[in-house]
Structure 1
Amino acid sequence: MDSAASDQSIIALDGWLQTPAGLYVRAWEQACLDNLTADIFGFNAVQIGMPQIDALAASRMPHRWLADTRVRPRLAPSPAQQPELRRQVAVTLDYAELPFASQSLDLVVLPHVLEFAAEPHQVLREVERVLIPEGRLIICGFNPASLWGARQVLGRVGGSYYLPRAGEFISMPRLKDWLKLLNMGASQSHFGCYAPACRTEKWLHRYAFMDNAGARWWPYLGGVYIVQAIKRVKGMHLIGPAWSKQTATTPAVVPVTNKRREQQDG
């Protein structure tokens, strides 16, 4: 996938996020991200892509930015849908070349970026570079091992896709393998959106009971997932003060019994 195709796929994602299914996904991801970011402390946090949600709304970090490939116009609230949550882009960038210094960020959030990026491995390498040791990474993605993933596979045969066509969806085990190669261990994972692949708000509401049932009975089959990872740096140890060892200056004490034996032996 070249850069032009990547831009077109991102535009397709923007349109899909305005559908009832897209609003359903955004509501679940916003609630989950609020719970995750509220307990992550630091100074600098960046959300890359998907300005339709505010992934850092609950973050307590003093410096928070939204970065994207381009500045997008704000949309007027629609009477038929909930108000648009699109935020102002503060930094424009290329996903594969992040304009941040090495080890300068405490938290990076990638909502549906890897699936539509031309070079997802390079994106992860750049994120690993800019994160400080023990920094946090949060990734949102569509789950191919779900009812939505199965519907997407059937769409390739019939030509009727449910999710954006150009997306290359990454399974949870595959994503964890990529993170492991970069010394980033997954600390938390969450699945959501268990309703079938319905296109109307009416049918999505009818299957709302499946969110509670799915989280209990088939937790790994949600339509979307969120993974939190921590950057690990090998060979790092806490080093205490180098206390200088005092050399023993007192003479060795000879036991009294040895002294008596020496006197008796002359």
Structure 2
Amino acid sequence: MFRSPPTTLPTSRFSVALRAAAVAALALAVPLGMPAAALAQAMPASHPAAATPEPASGAASSGAAGFNARQQALDARSAANEYAYGVAVHNCYSKFFVNACLGRARDKMRAVSGKIHAEQLALNDERRSVRAQQRDEEEALRREREAAEAPQRAATDARNQQAFEDKQRQHALDQAQRNAEAPQHAADQAAYDRKQADFQRKLDEARQNAARDAKERAERAQRFERKQADAQQHKADVEARQKQAAQKAQEKQQQQQQRQQEQQKRLQQEQQSD
């Protein structure tokens, strides 16, 4: 059995978002002087926001806050126009002449979009004009401020120039004094250099003398050690010769005693033989 499509959009995140945007469009359009009837025509009759429109309250406020509010209202009207077009397209599929209905819904959406676009262009022009006027006013204020500060700035520049010239003169005086004292400084430097050279010469001589003394002490120590060694060797040689002489004397004495004993034996033998 054939069932005709529903005449209302199904509840979804997209439809809920579009309905919320439509409510915001109506809320913003009322205080900005937008005809509520025009917005109500762009919304479905069953929408709560279209059923109870509030009266307009006057012209848009000026300044950045006013521009922001008007921009939000245009954005909300665009969202509401899209929502209304979506509702109209959905409803067209329940009618007999679907294409004609879709064409009328599209034309209506484009007409509303054209109006919103024209208002967007006008808002952009106003915003640029206000910004240009603000820049002109700021530039005029800047020129006035510079003109008011010109005497003080001139006085400050004069003081700075005077201070610079004083520093330049002082620098020139200091340079002249340094040039005048240059010969004395040169003489003092030469005396200092001579003193340093003399000190260095004495220091070198002291180092050389210390090295020579150390060398002589080392040589004396070596000679003393050689003498000590020679004395020890001489003493050892003497003791060896003395020991050798004592041994020879002892041997000679033993030989003499042996000869005497032999002579006594011969004498005893001769006496016995007689």
More helix by share: 2
More strand by share: 1
TM-score calculated relative to the size of structure 1: 0.30
Higher Rg: 2
**Does 1 or 2 have the higher relative contact order (CA < 8 Å, sep 6+)?**
1
